[in-house]
Amino acid sequence: MAPSFRRPAWPAVLLACMLAFAALLLPRAAHAADAPRIGIMTMQPGEVFFERFGHDAIVVVDPATGAATSYNFGFFDPSEQDFLSRFLRGEMMYYLVALPLQQDLEQYRDAGRGVSVQWLDLEPGQARALADALAERARPENARYRYDYFTANCATQVRDALDTAMGGTLQSQLAGRSRGNTYRSEAVRLARPAPWMWLGFDLGLGPYADRPLSRWEEAFVPMRLADSLREARNSEGRPLVVAEEQLLPHLIAAEPVEMPRRWWPWLVAGLALAGAAFAARRRSRLLAGFALPLWLLCGLAGLLLVYIWGFTAHHAGWANRNLFWLSPLCLLLLPGALALLRGRVPGRLFRPLLWIVAGSATLGWVLLWLSLQPQYNLPWIALLLPIHVALALALGRTPAPPRR
């Protein structure tokens, strides 16, 4: 008898393979379903001075309940003991606070600030690790951190927490790239709507603020961090941001755009004032009336720069070369200016001090071109150097009593 063959039951075999493959995928799907949804929330700049730079928070959505929690690193307590002195010394403490998302959004809605969220494609284990780390850190005993405007603010805390969960892959993608921005350029740009604020940043920042930043360092600005996240990849090589959602519209002035900083208008102003001062060299009272408030402002500003450098932790303001033309020595010229206003001859130290102040300003200009770590202060040199030199030329050679 010839052997008999049975036709293989191919549909049954295929079904069995599909069931086996599904059985392998089911634990992974369940594993992913248990993972929280993670989003990075970006708030646009506000109108109050401490809102000028925008803000960040991390949103965690519970997979079981759908409840969304905002982990916000931007809280501080002005009633805390020694709050003002700690702020001045650069030792200010901030807090991480966890609160329901809608409750966190209320303050931004009331201020008219736009808020958007970037939903991230993290591995389930990374998402759970980040959510657990945030919950632990939000406990009252762990919530405080020492604030630094450039290196430890709301955006850098978000960036660092995300990078830790991703095993350092975010920093590796951003640390080697740069757009040429600096701490000074970003601070001055975002503070521009408030003149006193951008002037304070520009005068108070030293050479530390002028080195080009990597994309990683640049992420101290929340909007810059959002830009970088759009280009980042997750651990599997997929785009890190899978979706963006606008939570609140922006109803106030938009974020200031980048603008080139030109020094020549400052030079024109400096030369014009210097020319006027030198032309009035025979009218000492008039000249003293101009010089007295200038020296007072320069001297007080110089004392503040000395305080920042020598007595605070604001390292971005250390070694500030604006001290060459904002010299505390200007305060020693005030008695001479008062004497001239009263029609008297200043003391013997007045004229040597004039030339020392002018020489210091000139030296600062020379060092600008010789320094290995330059500080961008050419506009201030262009404005103040001609004035200091003109005052020295006009008042430093006048031994005769002043004339009206």
Q: Do both 228 and 277 map to the same domain?
A: no
- Separation of first and last alpha carbons in the chain: 140
How does pLDDT run across 17-41, given as a tens digit for each residue?
555 544 444 444 445 568 999 999 9
- The SS3 of residue 340 is helix
Is residue 17 exposed (0-12), middle (13-18) or buried (19+ Cβ within 10 Å)? exposed
Q: Do both 303 and 366 map to the same domain?
A: yes
Cα-Cα-Cα-Cα dihedral sign, residues 62, 63, 67, 70? positive
Average pLDDT, integer, range 262-267 = 95
- The SS3 of residue 346 is coil
In a domain, 51, yes or no: yes
Structure tokens at 210: 């002028």
Distance CA 112, CA 86 (A): 31
Position 1 pLDDT exceeds 50: no
Residues 93-131 as b or e (16 or more Cβ within 10 Å = b): ebbbbbbebeebbeebeebebbbbbbbbbbbbebbbbbb
How high is the pLDDT of residue 306? 97
In a domain, 77, yes or no: yes
Distance CA 320, CA 200 (A): 13
Higher per-residue confidence, 397 vs 157: 157
**CB under 8 Å to 30, separation ≥6 — which residues?**
none
Residue with tokens 């959510």: 131
Position 183 pLDDT exceeds 80: yes
How does pLDDT run across 332-356, given as a tens digit for each residue?
999 999 999 999 999 999 999 999 9
Among 184, 195, 178, 150, residue whose Cα is nearest residue 377: 184
How does pLDDT run across 116-155, given as a tens digit for each residue?
999 999 999 999 999 999 999 999 999 999 999 999 999 9
- The SS3 of residue 274 is helix
**CB under 8 Å to 2, separation ≥6 — which residues?**
none
In a domain, 12, yes or no: no
Higher per-residue confidence, 300 vs 34: 300
Counting residues of the chain whose pLDDT is more than 90, the rounded percentage is 81
CATH code, domain carrying 42:
3.90.1720
Q: Do both 271 and 127 map to the same domain?
A: no
DSSP letter for each residue of 171-210? HHHHTT-B-S--HHHHHHHHHTTSHHHHHHHHHH--GGGG
Please count the residues of the chain.
404
Band of residue 397 on the pLDDT scale cut at 50, 70, 90: confident
Average pLDDT, integer, range 234-251 = 97
Position 16 pLDDT exceeds 80: no
Band of residue 83 on the pLDDT scale cut at 50, 70, 90: confident
- What are the φ/ψ torsions at residue 369 (nearest 5 degrees)? -90, -15
**Any long-range contacts for 103-106 (C-beta under 8 Å, 24+ apart)?**
103/70, 104/57, 104/70, 104/72, 105/70, 105/247, 105/248
Among 297, 263, 275, 303, residue whose Cα is nearest residue 391: 275
In a domain, 168, yes or no: yes
Position 9 pLDDT exceeds 80: no
Q: Do both 40 and 168 map to the same domain?
A: yes
How high is the pLDDT of residue 32? 56
How high is the pLDDT of residue 374? 86
Give the least confident one: 30-44, 98-112, 268-282: 30-44
In a domain, 13, yes or no: no
In a domain, 256, yes or no: no
How high is the pLDDT of residue 402? 47
Question: Residue 331's domain spans which residues?
Answer: 264-395
Number of domains present in the structure of the chain? 2
Structure tokens at 369: 């071109």
Q: Do both 154 and 269 map to the same domain?
A: no
Distance CA 222, CA 187 (A): 12
How high is the pLDDT of residue 372? 79
How high is the pLDDT of residue 371? 81
Q: Do both 219 and 301 map to the same domain?
A: no
Alpha helices in 284-345 (DSSP H): 284-311, 334-341
- The SS3 of residue 12 is helix
Position 234 pLDDT exceeds 70: yes
In a domain, 375, yes or no: yes
In a domain, 1, yes or no: no
Distance CA 270, CA 253 (A): 32
CB 207 within 8 A of CB 273: no
How high is the pLDDT of residue 79? 84
How high is the pLDDT of residue 237? 95
How high is the pLDDT of residue 80? 83
Q: Do both 116 and 49 map to the same domain?
A: yes
Position 362 pLDDT exceeds 90: yes
Q: Do both 221 and 367 map to the same domain?
A: no
How high is the pLDDT of residue 33? 64
Distance CA 391, CA 357 (A): 10
- Average confidence score pLDDT of the chain: 90
How does pLDDT run across 371-393, given as a tens digit for each residue?
878 899 999 999 999 999 999 99
Position 321 pLDDT exceeds 80: yes
How high is the pLDDT of residue 399? 52
Q: Do both 220 and 336 map to the same domain?
A: no
User: Residue 201: left (phi > 0), alpha (psi -120 to 50), or beta?
Assistant: alpha
Band of residue 103 on the pLDDT scale cut at 50, 70, 90: very high
